[in-house]
Structure 1
């Protein structure tokens, strides 16, 4: 928690918080799906129709929304061998360069994922048991990727224009 009240948060911070809450919501949905499926199978000898399809599609959604949540905070896995030995100015340059590369890669990924959503919708791909269309799941995953692009863009802008805005977040600090 940054210690900022809702009234003093910038619109960017509110967007970031909302996207992180969505990612957390999908973690809960995936966990609930797994838990309920296991309990039903173990104790009641039954299962949720399409629980496997729902599980794999929800996991995909979780991954893309997780990318959004971790990309802004910079809390994804990194290798900082070169960065730790660099001067503060060079560290900032490395951060901006790495974030721009990440922005490019995730933008291309988002474009390609949109194509997957369109193809899945056009081909009318359905789940096995209930014959539900799968494209809405792909669309929600794609929205997570769009949010990742948005957050990486905000991070890039802040790295260049407002580096102190990133330093205000305790999530970006590491204990050494």
Structure 2
């Protein structure tokens, strides 16, 4: 029996990501040191006797999928945080920069926000949002949030350097 997957359910997202692991779920089970049957059971919502523990197994599985370059591995996290009313935004590294680079980051964040708002306004012009428009809105808003997260991390790095007596010249 095949069960329909729900893209908003973290376990279904994890199941799909694990299936994209090189060699599939069977190879991932071997990497985790468990039988393929046990992993299949843990990845299915309908099996009450097997559950994935967050601290150990879920985190380990996600690290393995990320290290293997599995496309969409982070969708599990996105579904999990969305289920609880939050958004997932990757945290770009702050990196070293000067005042000019910091200013460019501010401008980029403003530009990304403006593009997201423009995309949304254009989509709403006919009173409805199509599938294509929705995907574009999602992309633009995610880009805006990511640029703001980058700006936040740069600000955090500057704050930490400032506390140590260094200035903006080497953020």
Bucket of the pairwise TM-score, normalised by the shorter protein: 0.3 to 0.5
TM-score, normalisation: structure 2: 0.36
TM-score, normalisation: structure 1: 0.35
Larger relative CO (CA 8 A, sep 6+): 1 or 2? 1
Structure label with greater radius of gyration: 2
